[in-house]
Amino acid sequence: MARKMKAAVARGFGRPLAIEDVPVPEPGPGQVLVKVAACGVCHSDVHAVDGDWPLKPKIPFIPGHEGVGVVAELGPGVGRVREGDPVCVPWLHHACGTCEYCTTGWEPLCPGQTNTGYNVDGGYAEYVLAEAAFVGLLPKDPDFVAMAPIACAGVTTYKGVKETEARPGEWLIVSGVGGLGHVAVQYARAMALRVGAIDVADEKLELARSLGAEFAVNAHAGDAVAEVIERTGGGAHGVLATAASVASFTQAVAMARPRGTVALCGLPAGDFPTPIFDVVLKRITIRGSIVGNRQDLSEAVAFAASGQVKATVHSAPLEDVNDVFARLKAGEIDGRMALIP
Ligand SMILES: [Zn+2]
Ligand SMILES: [Zn+2]
């Protein structure tokens, strides 16, 4: 008889997840079975379950791409990890390894990629299958709940900061101090950047300051752009836009210094107008940033393991997933939630 495990299963878009007993998957060649200790809840999981994006996940599916736990079983031919090793199972489940993106370190752009918790079952379960070559290696005896958000929020913001090309001593503005932004502030500080933060909630501004931002501006109070330009002596070298707000993207471009780069890693619904005159005359780069490659993940984990980056995480039992989604949609979650199966 097949072994069973508890999982939160999406059986239709926009419907609550169902807690069910499903078969424990078996690792094939190159794969590992990971016993999930915790799985972070990313806003993308809500979009996946609601079927919000043009490319839909398979139905039914198990969401979750911030799963962390230990390797419980090895498929044939796995040499990279051993049973008992702590790992994380990120969004990038698998990439082809041979296309122009894969061979140049841009595997998150691989057209042949598969994604954990989207078109491959994810970590909202007692076990999750992963490709041994794509898991993130965690330090020995990790605090699993603390490490869970690094698998997506961590690597996404770390890569986003890198994508702004801001150098040590230069100014980075983190726009939006939510689940992504509060981690971004810490990566930027760990990378010796000078940090300013923007949000619309005063407690988020306070959080940003406590994490090392030299100043924090309320986007709704006064002229936030003018204040950033003044505080940074002419505009930010890099701006990382993490807020799910179109208005904040427009603002992000306006506060960039000439030759600056604006990296977008939030995904608000809708488009924003590009001020072409400013972008051309100030030679501003506007760039998307999507997760990170395996090396980025490993560096993002290393910063967290060293204690320089700590996500604010609260945990809840897997059974509470629908309630957690509701609170996330209502903007009631401070930091990140991790589900415990
Ligand atoms: Zn995510
Ligand atoms: Zn590829």
Sign of CA dihedral 111, 117, 123, 126: negative
Q: What tokens appear for 307 in the block?
A: 């204690």
Q: How far is the CA of 181 from the centre of ligand 2 (A)?
A: 29
The answer to whether 66 and 128 have CB atoms below 8 angstroms apart is no
Which tokens sit at 195? 């940090």
Residue 269: pLDDT above 70?
yes
Radius of gyration for the chain, computed over Cα atoms and rounded to the nearest angstrom: 20
Q: Which ligand is nearest to the CA of 107?
A: 2
Instruction: Measure 67 CA to ligand 2 centroid, in angstroms.
Output: 23
What's the CA gap between 287 and 265, in Å, rounded?
9
Q: Which residues contact 223 (CB under 8 A, 6 or more apart)?
A: none
Residue 102 CA to ligand 2 centre (angstroms): 4
Supply the mean pLDDT for the chain: 96
On the question of pLDDT at 227 being above 70, the answer is: yes
Residues 6+ apart with CB under 8 A from 24: 2, 3, 4, 5, 33, 126, 127
Q: Which pLDDT score is estimated for 272?
A: 84
Residue 100: burial class (beta carbons within 10 Å; 0-12, 13-18, 19+): exposed
Distance 251 CA to ligand 1 centre (A): 24
Q: Report the separation in Å between the CA atom of 99 and the middle of ligand 2, taken as the mean of its atom positions.
A: 4
Query: Among 94, 83, 78, which Cα is nearest to 134's?
Result: 94
What is residue 17's predicted lDDT score, i.e. its pLDDT? 98
Residue 239 confidence (pLDDT): 98
**Tokens 């619309």 belong to residue:** 200
Which ligand is the nearest neighbour of the Cα of 114? 2
- Distance (angstroms) between ligand 1 centre and the Cα of 289 equals 13
Helix locations, the chain, DSSP H = 43-50, 144-147, 153-163, 181-190, 202-210, 224-231, 246-254, 276-281, 294-305, 321-329
pLDDT (0 to 100) of residue 268: 77
Kindly identify the ligand whose nearest atom is closest to the C-alpha of 40. 1
The token pair at 323 is 């309630």
* CA 252/CA 273 separation, integer angstroms: 12
- CA torsion sign for 167, 193, 298, 24 is negative
The phi, psi pair for 144, rounded to 5°, reads -60, -45
- Cβ atoms of residues 44 and 65 within 8 Å: yes
For ligand 1, the distance from its centroid to the CA atom of residue 1, given in whole angstroms, is 35
Query: Helix, strand, or coil here: 260?
Result: strand
Output the CA 158–ligand 2 centroid distance in Å.
Answer: 22
In Å, how far from its chain's centre is CA 32?
22
Q: Which of 210-214, 228-232, 266-270 is least confident?
A: 266-270
Q: How many CA atoms lie within 13 A of 55 on its CB side?
A: 7
pLDDT at residue 332, rounded to an integer: 85
| Residue that wins the pLDDT comparison between 34 and 178 | 34
Ligand of minimum distance to the alpha carbon of 100: 2
Q: Is the pLDDT of residue 75 over 70?
A: yes
- Rounded to the nearest angstrom, the distance between the alpha carbon of 145 and the centre of ligand 2 is 31
Q: Strand 136-137 to strand 86-89: parallel, antiparallel, or no bridges (unpaired)?
A: antiparallel
Q: What band does 266 get if pLDDT is binned at 50, 70 and 90? A: confident
Distance 109 CA to ligand 2 centre (A): 7
* Dihedral angle computed from the Cα positions of residues 15, 16, 17 and 18, in that order, rounded to the nearest 10 degrees: -100
Residues 36-66: tens digit of each pLDDT: 999 999 999 999 999 988 889 999 999 999 9
- Say what the pLDDT of residue 1 is: 60
Structure tokens at 200: 């619309």
pLDDT score of 335: 85
Q: What angle do CA 72, 75, 81 make, to 5 degrees?
A: 60
Query: Looking at residue 56, what DSSP letter applies?
Result: P
- φ, ψ at 256 (rounded to 5°): -80, 145
User: Which is it for strands 31-41 and 336-340: parallel, antiparallel or unpaired?
Assistant: antiparallel
Which structural domains are found in the chain, ordered by start? 4-152+292-340 (3.90.180.10), 155-288 (3.40.50.720)
**pTM of the full structure:** 0.95
Structure confidence by residue, pLDDT tens digits, 132-176? 999 999 999 999 999 999 999 999 999 999 999 999 999 999 999
Summarised one tens digit per residue, pLDDT across range 98-138 is 999 999 999 999 999 999 999 999 999 999 999 999 999 99
Ligand nearest to the CA of 113: 2
